[in-house]
Each structure stands twice: as structure tokens, then as C-alpha cells.
Chains A and B, each alone.
Chain A
């Protein structure tokens, strides 16, 4: 698994310079959605909740950083920490209120939160220019001699952000806090008996998730050169959920695989945009019923079967 990851990373660094600009764009889009899916994967797989307001975290980071640049003359790099701090702070607040709720209530409240954020962006026209959106959003200024004003340069920025997010989450999960989070997901009541502060660990998880979503959000404005409230509707969050479920819940690679399946493939095949929500829904139902482990589960299952078959054969030979 690890060697596979390294191999893939090398390919993702080495190949794009030789690709057509459109394909580089498509790859950037896929990785960007990979970042969003990763953030949702943390909520779904490690807190055990569904956040229908995840797109709002993305939107807040995107708008905050772009507004700081357009209205107050911040650079991309100086706006980033401010926007991220805002998102994480808001996530903590939302988490402290909503993560006390059990069962479907968290999902419902976050649904409301997402819609409220979208409506504020739509209607606060003086600040956000409403449904017409903010434009043009310039590419990030060059940093340490690296330039991001070409499709390729920007692609590498997206790639680096994904790698950083992935590394940070991998570390988090292996750290003490991550193990507590898994314990809470496994059995919330028992975690309480063991003395783990349940709410605190859920809120920490949500904050990390919002941080990753925010990192992706910083990039989406410069990537599309415009920001509009329509990009952050409920379907954006649902798409993230579908990616995680299709790829495999409770893993880090799962959401990325899901993003490849749901962004790269439909775009590459580019058919029937209007049918997308329907197809997403259908796919979600099929995967949940027939493939509860997602693509990752299928791969793992296949590998174990292969290796156990191989072992069986060896035993016979002996």
C-alpha cells in the first residue's frame, strides 16, 4: 500500500508537464475535490457523523481569503492564515453546539448551517456581490521563486496542499488524539466510561476537518478565477459524502479514490450534467447495499483472497 502511494506520488509529479493543459486542469480539479473529500472522510469515518454543511467551511475560507485580497490588499499567503483561523474557530463553535446532539440531529443542524452560510453569501451583496460572485480572483503570488500563474504551477500547489493535508491527517490518526477519536467512534458510551472527554474529541475532529476543507477552499477561488454562492450548495456536501462512501469510509485513501471516480471520470467522459445528482444518488444506494467497504474494501478483500489463495497453493506444494 505504501509503495503504491509513493509510486503514485512520483507519477503525479513527473507526468503533468507532458500533459495537455485541459488534462492538467482536470487533474487539479480532481485533487481539489480529493482535499474536500478527505475533510469529509474525517467527519464520516472518524467522528462517525455526516456533515451536510461541509461546503460552508469551504465557502467561508474561499470568501474570506478572496475578500481580504480584493478589498484589503492582502496577498494570497497573508490572507490564508486569517481565513483558516476563521474557519477553524467557526467549526469549534458549531461543533460545541451540535456535537452534543445524538443521532440524525447533527446532520440536520449542519444542513441548516450550510444553507444559512450560503444565503448570507447570496444576500450580503455589498460585500460578496451576491449571486454574481467575486471576480476576477488572481492566482496566488509567487513564493520562494515558485510561480503559480500557469495551470501547471497551480496544479503543483494543489498537489502540495493535498500531500500536506494527507500527511497531517495520517499523523493525527496515529497520534493519541486520533486513537481517542477512534475509540469515541467505536463506542461513545464506553469511551465515556473510560474517561475520554467525548465531546472534546469530536470537536477536535471537526476542527481538523474544517481546516482541511478550508485549505481546499483557499484554492478554489484562484482555480476557477471566480467565486459564486451556487458553488457551495447542499449538493457540494453531498458529493463529498458520496466520494467518501464510494472510496471507503474510515480510510484516508478512500476519499481520494472516490474523488477520482466522481470527478475525473464524469469530466473525462463529459456526459449529461443535469443527470449528475441522480447518478450520484443511484451510485450511493448501490455502493451502500453491495459494497459497504467502498472501493478500498473491495481492493482489500481482493488482496486477502489472492494472498490466502496463494498461501493455500504453497501449502499444497509442500
Chain B
């Protein structure tokens, strides 16, 4: 479905990606783990059209999509949930969800998707008419994901969804990600919470200083001693 080849990206003079290649097949959960500054967010931003890659190719269903704007990518079914529970704080939950589906013209489909995300995140139904900024961090993260789902994506890019959330909420989030995937959404997940991410993922990549350091199935990386030491804290017990 998604094929990234030798992708390079930079912020001015600072190179963030130095030639990253990865693939995501239809129906998979693929995770990318790595330390701060390894280039994980840059990778997602380049894929969803928020950042123009300096070199390399991004192909979606065998079509080149590198350098397209985010408004084009969302129409092709690729959407990103940015890091840090970004919501339109002064707008209501309903308005936030509405914006997620802004480009769609199929009203019936939008209504069905609204119902779907409200069932998935019951808390959003309770807070439907209240300002998004007044909700807790976990609720805002749910809203950010729900808003992305309103575009009915085929490929969902999640950037550190568990960051700063309580363990109970993180577990809930993990279940929701699996559920979404079971319903047919392909997911590319970037995480610092490597343990959760690797358990969820079919396959995983380890990114270090802008390069893919290691890749394999989630379980294989969980069992890999070096990964364990660097990203999971301490040796395998």
C-alpha cells in the first residue's frame, strides 16, 4: 500500500531523515520506534503532505505521492494525527469532528462515520457540545483520533498518541488501535512507548539518527536484546 524509498528530509540545514525506506501493506499495523530526534515525526509529516521531502520517493498504491499537499493526501485516504493532542480548543467536539470531514460531500457517509466514532469513543458523545479545550488530555487525544477518522482514512498515521497519558488510558488507546485495524484501517504508528507499540504491531522499524537501524516483526524486536536495552529499559528479564 505504502512504499517509502530512500526518503530524505531536512529543516533548513538540519537533516532529519538521511534515506529511510519502509513499506506498509494493506491491513497492517506498522510501528516506528526510536529516540527523540530520530526523525520519526518528520517521516510521518513527509508522508501525510505536511512537509516536502528533499529526496527519495513516497508511493501510495503504486502512484507517486511525494510532495503532494495534505489536502490532496486526505483525499487519497491518508491522514495524520499530530503529536500533542492537537484539537481546535475553542470549538466544540461536534465542530472538531465536522472539520475532520470537511472535504466530503457524501452527507450520509459523514453521518454514519460520526455515529461510528461516537460509538468508538463514547466520551465524545457525552461531551458533544462542549468546548474541546475543556476536556482532559486523554479525551482530547481521543477527539484528535476521532477527527482524523472522520475523513474515512485507509491509512492512519499516529504520532506518539500515548504521550503524557495515564497508563489506563494508554491501555484503552491500544485496544482502540487494534479495533480500528481489525475494521480495515491500515496504521502507521510512531511511539516512544516502545513496549505498547511493539505488542500492537505486525511489523516494526527502529529509527536512529535519520536511518532505519533495524526492522522485523513486533515480537522479533521485542525479543532483540539490543532493542531491549536501548528502548525498553534494561536487559531481558
Which A positions have Cβ atoms within 8 angstroms of B? 176, 179-180, 182-183, 186-187, 189-190, 192-197
Establish whether residues A193 and B69, one from each chain, have CB atoms under 8 Å apart when the complex forms. no
Does the CB pair A183–B86 fall under 8 Å?
no
State how many angstroms separate the Cβ of A205 from the closest Cβ of chain B: 16
Contacts of A187 in B (CB 8 A): 86, 88
Whether the pair A192, B70 counts as a contact (CB closer than 8 A) is yes
- Give Cα A138 to B71, complex, Å: 49
Q: Do A196 and B80 touch across chains, with their CB atoms under 8 A apart? A: no
Contacts of B151 in A (CB 8 A): 195
Q: List 28 A-B contacts (CB under 8 A).
A: A176-B102, A179-B99, A179-B102, A180-B99, A180-B102, A183-B88, A183-B91, A183-B99, A186-B88, A186-B89, A187-B86, A187-B88, A189-B82, A189-B86, A190-B87, A192-B70, A193-B48, A193-B70, A193-B81, A193-B86, A194-B100, A194-B147, A195-B74, A195-B103, A195-B151, A196-B102, A197-B69, A197-B71
Q: With contacts A179-B99, A179-B102, A186-B88 known, what are 11 further pairs, Cβ within 8 A?
A: A179-B95, A179-B98, A180-B99, A183-B99, A187-B86, A190-B86, A193-B50, A194-B74, A194-B102, A195-B70, A195-B74
Q: Which residues of B contact A (CB under 8 A)?
A: 48, 50, 69-71, 73-75, 79-82, 86-91, 95, 98-100, 102-103, 147, 151
A273 to B102, CA, bound (A): 50
Which single member of B82, B95, B102 contacts A190 (CB below 8 Å)? Answer: B82
Q: Interface centre among A176, A182, A195, A196, by most B CB within 10 Å?
A: A195
Least CB separation from B159: chain A residue: A193
Q: Is B71 touching A195 in the complex (CB atoms < 8 A)?
A: yes
Residue of A nearest to B74 (CB): A195
Chain B contacts for A186, CB-based, 8 A: 88-91
Is the beta-carbon distance between A196 and B82 smaller than 8 angstroms?
A: no
Task: Please report the C-alpha to C-alpha distance between residue A243 and residue B100 in the assembled complex, in whole angstroms.
Answer: 35
B-chain residues with CB within 8 Å of residue A182 when the two chains form the complex: 91
A198 to chain B, nearest CB (A): 9
- Residue in chain B with minimal CB distance to A194: B99
Which 5 interchain pairs have the tightest Cβ spacing?
Answer: A195-B74, A197-B71, A190-B86, A195-B71, A193-B82
CB of A186 to closest CB in B, whole Å = 5
Q: Which residues of the partner chain A approach B147 to less than 8 Å between Cβ atoms?
A: 194
**CA of A189 to CA of B75 in the docked complex: distance in angstroms?**
18
B91 surroundings in chain A (CB, below 8 A): 182-183, 186
A197's closest neighbor in chain B, by CB?
Answer: B71
| A187 to B73 Cα, complex, angstroms | 19
CB distance from A5 to the nearest CB of B (A): 24
Q: Which residues of chain B are within 8 angstroms of A183 by Cβ–Cβ distance?
A: 88, 91, 99
Min CB distance B48 to A, Å, is 7
Distance A192 CA – B86 CA, assembled complex (angstroms) = 12
Contacts of A189 in B (CB 8 A): 82, 86
For B75, the chain A residues whose CB sits under 8 A away are: 195
Most A Cβ at <10 Å: residue of B48, B50, B88, B89: B88
B50 and A192: CB pair below 8 A? yes
Query: How close is B154's CB to chain A, nearest CB, in angstroms?
Result: 14
Could you say which residues of chain B place their CB within 8 Å of the CB of A179? 95, 98-99, 102
What chain B residues lie within 8 Å of A176 (beta carbons)? 102
Find A193's partner among B80, B89, B95, B102 (CB 8 Å cutoff): B80
- Structural contact, B71 and A196, CB atoms closer than 8 A: yes
> A196 near B69 (CB under 8 angstroms)?
no
For residue A229, give the distance in angstroms from its CB to the closest CB of chain B. Answer: 40
CB-defined contacts of A196 to chain B, threshold 8 Å? 71, 99, 102
Q: A180 CA to B71 CA in the complex, in Å?
A: 12
CA distance in complex: A307, B151 (Å): 40
Residues of A within 8 A of B80 (CB): 193
Does B88 contact A195, Cβ atoms closer than 8 Å?
no
Distance of B135 from chain A, by nearest CB (Å)? 16
State A186–B132 Cα separation when bound (angstroms). Answer: 13
Residues of B within 8 A of A197 (CB): 69, 71
The residue of chain A having its C-beta at the shortest distance from the C-beta of B80 within the complex is: A193
- Measured CA separation A273–B70 after assembly (Å): 52
Q: B89 — which chain A residues lie within 8 A by C-beta? A: 186
In the bound assembly, the distance between CA atoms of A192 and B74 in angstroms comes to 10
Which A residues are CB-close (under 8 A) to B70?
Answer: 192-193, 195
- Chain B residue at smallest Cβ distance from A177: B102
**Across-interface contacts of A194 in B (CB, < 8 A):** 74, 99-100, 102, 147
Q: Which residues of A contact B100 (CB under 8 A)?
A: 194
Cα distance, A198 to B73, chains bound together (Å): 14
Choose among A186, A187, A192, A196 the residue with the greatest number of B CB atoms under 10 Å from its CB. Answer: A192
Distance between B117 CB and nearest chain A CB, rounded to angstroms: 14
Residues of A with C-beta under 8 A to B73: 195
* B-chain residues with CB within 8 Å of residue A192 when the two chains form the complex: 50, 70
Q: A14 to B69: give the CA distance in the assembly, Å.
A: 53
- Nearest-CB distance from B3 to chain A (Å)? 22
A176–B98 alpha-carbon span in the complex (Å): 10
Residues from chain A with Cβ under 8 Å of B99 in the complex: 179-180, 183, 194, 196
Per the bound structure, the CA–CA distance linking A131 and B70 in Å amounts to: 49
